[in-house]
Amino acid sequence: MLLACTVIILGFILLVWGADRFVDGASGLAKSFQIPPLVIGLTIVSLCTSLPEMLVAGVAAVDGNNNLGIGNAIGSNIANIGLVLGITALVAPLMVRSVLLRREMPVLFLVMFLALALMWDGNLSRMDGVVLLLGMVGLVYWLFRLGMQERDALMEAEFTENMPKNMSARTSVMWLLVGLVVLLLSSRMVVWGAVEVATMLGVSDLVIGLTIVAIGTSLPELVASVVSVLKNEADLAIGNIVGSNMFNTLAVLSMPALLAPNDFDAEILSRDIPVMFIFSLALLVMAYGFKRAGRISRVEGGLLLSGFSAYLYMLYVQA
């Protein structure tokens, strides 16, 4: 147990470091091709922040643990809102001022309803994986067009500030490859450790994926969101979460579907997906604000964190 826990912790540390290097490399390479920072932030950065979840889900699927990969995708979406935004809002209230961000929120629900429709029969087939993958391609294209057509000065300035400075194309490629190798190795470590812990504790791979693995792979979003809000860049913090959740639902769920198509545990449909929708709806209400400016206060952040804690307790009791 001690060895497995140590491997998991070390794997998470390497996942965070590798994801950061990969994002820097991808962003620097895109910048060298004169791609606008807003487009880079909306597409490349959002996709790359979901890369740890994608690789963990892919490795788990290859090992025959598709429930761990699916649990990682759904659990990361829940953790991103309940844990990451909850803690971030406690650090400082989050003001939502970007028109682009408000436009992405309804798309997040469309993506989740698509995943729900594909999973309704209790099975993720290879065709479902293809549909999810095509959905991801369509999402990237939509975000690319949105970034090229819209000129959201607020988010553009925030993305520009967070782009790597003076990084050559050669250096960008180097960090891109280093980050990818580290991500692959650390994903292998996390999956091995998680399966060992699940076996020793006598709980399902799904529960481990929803808890330990989901929280661990959400660490990059937590670090990025807290840093963003300390820089007074709340739109960037929430944008990272919304983008990450869309890519988690499409790209991460496509991994077990494509690599190990099979039935999954019924609790995912009856318990975990409804919880994901509830947290997403709470974020939608807070972000839009309707008759007031969108704002996640410290009280609302506390409620999100409390709701996430209650969800973990429910999993503990049922396990």
Helix ranges (H only) for 120-218 are: 126-149, 153-162, 169-201, 205-208, 214-217
Q: Would you place residue 19 in the very low, low, confident or very high pLDDT band (cuts 50, 70, 90)?
A: confident
Q: Would you place residue 156 in the very low, low, confident or very high pLDDT band (cuts 50, 70, 90)?
A: low
Q: Which of 145, 186, 239 is nearest to 9 (CA)?
A: 186
- Are 242 and 105 in contact by the 8 Å Cβ rule? The answer is yes
Structure tokens, 278: 């509830």
Q: How many CB atoms sit inside 10 A of residue 134's CB?
A: 12
In this prediction the pTM is 0.85
Q: Highest mean pLDDT: which of 49-53, 64-68, 152-156, 158-162?
A: 64-68
- Give pLDDT, residue 134: 95
- Give pLDDT, residue 293: 63
Q: Would you place residue 237 in the very low, low, confident or very high pLDDT band (cuts 50, 70, 90)?
A: confident
Q: How far is residue 307's CA from residue 85's CA, in Å, rounded to a whole number?
A: 12
% of residues, the chain, pLDDT over 90: 30
Q: Would you place residue 70 in the very low, low, confident or very high pLDDT band (cuts 50, 70, 90)?
A: very high
- Give pLDDT, residue 14: 87
Supply the mean pLDDT for the chain.
83
Candidate from 94-98, 165-169, 187-191, 288-292 with smallest mean pLDDT: 288-292
Q: When comparing pLDDT for 297 and 319, which is higher?
A: 297
Over residues 68-81, mean pLDDT: 92
Q: Which residues, 6 or more positions from 35, have their beta carbon under 8 angstroms from its beta carbon?
A: none
% of residues, the chain, pLDDT over 70: 85
Sign of CA dihedral 84, 90, 91, 93: positive
Q: Highest mean pLDDT: which of 9-18, 68-77, 213-222?
A: 68-77
The answer on pLDDT for 252 being more than 80 is yes
Over residues 93-119, mean pLDDT: 84
Candidate from 99-108, 112-121, 152-161, 218-227 with smallest mean pLDDT: 152-161
Q: Would you place residue 131 in the very low, low, confident or very high pLDDT band (cuts 50, 70, 90)?
A: very high
Candidate from 39-43, 72-76, 94-98, 309-313 with smallest mean pLDDT: 39-43
**Domain annotation for the chain: domains and CATH numbers:** 2-318 (1.20.1420.30)
